Structure 1
Amino acid sequence: MSQHPRPVRVTVVDDHVLFAESVALTLEAEGYLVKRLDITAPPATLASVLATALRTVPRVVLLDLDLGRVGDGTRLIAPLTASGAAVVALTATSDLADWGESLRQGAKTVLSKASPLHEVMTTIRSVCDGRPVLRSQERQALIDTAVRERDATREIRTRLDRLTRREQEVLGALMRGEQVREIARARVVSEATVRTQIKSILAKLETGSQIAAIGAAYRAGWRPPG
């Protein structure tokens, strides 16, 4: 067990109750002061979760990046880090750009939610003891991946802004799986008109197919008007 002059405060922010309780009980057995935040009770928001977490004055925060209806836990990393807390992020995604963004925001490291409990515990102990948990080269590589993805997404959004209102509506229909005939019928235009609009969409997005255009829109988190 790690030895500290005073018990280290660890705050667990995770909407997976069983996992959070398992971590909390194991840490408490080792002498840590653990606070598990209940974020399942309404009307929890990112702001209220942050305020509650800060009141616990944590040395370390174990933070789930997907907080369900509460929102994206990544947005809590920077303010928690600014308060002096060390953040260990947990995520179910394998997207390295998302991992890198968490590190860019200030997290000490990122762990997969598929990680065994003993690995999570080892990481928390290392962070509490001030030991490194991620090699600097690996950390920078992940951050670079996040920056590249952010820049690519920004470029896609710039291209999406070039679309006219009608083209946005057509792209939205394509994203819903509608065919040219259905789009033309719904908008009372000819199929040739719809194909012309699709051709314009592909040109403006600089993509070679409808599938690529749809993928670009989803990648940028774009939503059609209305």
Structure 2
Amino acid sequence: MADPNPRPVRVVIVDDHAMFRSGVRAELASVGAGVIEVLAEAADVDEAIAAVIAHQPDVVLLDVHLPGGGGVEVMRKLSLSPASASGSPKFLALSVSDAAEDVIGTIRGGARGYVTKTITGPELVSAIGRVAGGDAVFSPRLAGFVLDAFAGSIDVAAVDEDLDRLTEREREVMRLIARGYAYKEVAKELFISIKTVETHMSSVLRKLQLSSRHELTRWANDRRLL
């Protein structure tokens, strides 16, 4: 017989933007009241590992790009930690990035699902519950990336080699610019100054040996990064 009063799914939120973490916590408290319990928040790799070990959550909402190595590094270090062996959580990536290499790399790193930050509150509550129950959950477009990668139709190694030249922040700027965002919009999205966006963009073009944002868009589109 099903438990008439099941325990809420216990969650740790990992994201380097405090405002975003607060927004997710508030949304889960509102939409997921009685179903989701947020135990803690973390802003970087070390904080995430400490929070997971201390609180033993059922699900970790994990951003892909974090100070200290990223979401994949969180999963890798936790898999090696004796302190986390007794209760390994499920990982659900919640990221602004919907690029193929981020989705594929995160799933290969151990995540059970990947959804983008355009997801609604009720959808996120549902995704957390499904991942906690053992399902794999993806935003519809992202599921295709995973299928293509494991079918061998995306050359992940070649994409990774190109992107290894860029820092994580440069990758974020690159994707947004390639999608047609203005510098002001990129600055607002990433919580950085317009001047910093310009600096990152110059570095991206130099490292990829491109001369304009139009070439960058073609480059990113050819590699299925948009």
TM-score (norm 1): 0.55
Q: Tell me by how many angstroms 1:57 deviates.
A: 0.5
Partner-residue secondary structure (3-state), 1:12 = strand
Q: Please point out which of 131, 155, 163 is paired with 1:148.
A: 155
Alpha-carbon displacement from aligned partner over 1:122-149 (angstroms, at most 9, x marks no partner): 10111223344359x8434245679723
Q: How does 1:68-147 map to 2 (within 5 A)?
A: 69=67, 71-80=69-78, 83=84, 84-134=88-138, 138=144, 139-142=146-149
Q: Tell me by how many angstroms 1:4 deviates.
A: 6.4
Alpha-carbon displacement from aligned partner over 1:175-203 (angstroms, at most 9, x marks no partner): 6989xxxxxxxxxxxxxxxxxxxxxxxxx
Q: Partner of 2:224 in structure 1?
A: none
2: CA distance between counterparts of 1:175 and 1:32? 42
**Matched length:** 165
Question: Could you tell me whether the CA contact under 8 Å between 2:32 and 2:125 is conserved in 1?
Answer: no
Q: Which amino acid aligns with 2:210?
A: I
Going from structure 1 to structure 2, the CA distance change for 1:106 and 1:97 (only over 3 Å counts) comes to same
Q: Tell me by how many angstroms 1:27 deviates.
A: 6.7
Unaligned runs of 5+ in 1: 40-44, 158-173, 179-206, 220-226
TM-score (norm 2): 0.55
C-alpha RMSD of the superposition? 4.2
Unaligned runs of 5+ in 2: 165-201, 221-226
Alpha-carbon displacement from aligned partner over 1:88-132 (angstroms, at most 9, x marks no partner): 001111211111111111111111111122211110111223344
Q: Tell me by how many angstroms 1:153 deviates.
A: 3.8
Partner-residue secondary structure (3-state), 2:47 = helix
Going from structure 1 to structure 2, the CA distance change for 1:12 and 1:4 (only over 3 Å counts) comes to farther
Q: Please point out which of 28, 40, 43 is paired with 1:36.
A: 40
Structure number with greater Rg is 1
Q: Partner of 1:195 in structure 2?
A: none
1: CA distance between counterparts of 2:90 and 2:23? 20
Q: Which amino acid aligns with 2:111?
A: A
Identity over aligned residues, as a percent? 22
Alpha-carbon displacement from aligned partner over 1:197-225 (angstroms, at most 9, x marks no partner): xxxxxxxxxx9xx538x97xx99xxxxxx
